[in-house]
Amino acid sequence: MLSEQRIKELERAESKLNALECGGVDNWEFYENSLEDWNKENEIDEQREDLINELSIIFGECAYEPSERGAGIAFRDDVFKSAIKLLTEKGVIFK
């Protein structure tokens, strides 16, 4: 959970960015160049989050509780093949 102080800091930063963009900073010659690394990092974060969500779905759909309660969870035999296939398609692991 964010503290009130951190929320205020984020609101000020957002307000400052809005003021800069209203003043035309996004039209500066090197504006896009200065955001390249930030955009790449955000794209990687989004891809990582998507991959985790997809893996959660694969493992969640294939999980079951073995014969007695408290024994943990188990997965159908094909779950690992599905996970490996997804990771290979995403370029996380290579054949």
Tell me, what's the pLDDT at 9?
Answer: 95
Residue 17: inside a domain, yes or no?
no
- Residue 77 is assigned to a structural domain of this protein: yes
Residue 85 lies in a domain: yes
Helix (H, G, I), strand (E, B) or coil at 2: coil
Tally DSSP H helices, then E strands, for the chain. 4, 2
| Averaged pLDDT, groups of 10, the chain, 95 residues long | 92 94 88 88 89 85 73 76 85 72
Number of separate domains in the chain = 1
15 vs 7: CA distance, rounded Å: 12
Q: Which residues contact 77 (CB under 8 A, 6 or more apart)?
A: none
**68 inside domain:** yes
- Does residue 11 fall inside a structural domain? no
Whether 21 maps to a domain, the answer reads: no
Nearest to 54 by CA among 76, 93, 85: 85
Structural domain of residue 67, as residue ranges? 62-90
- pLDDT for res 19: 93
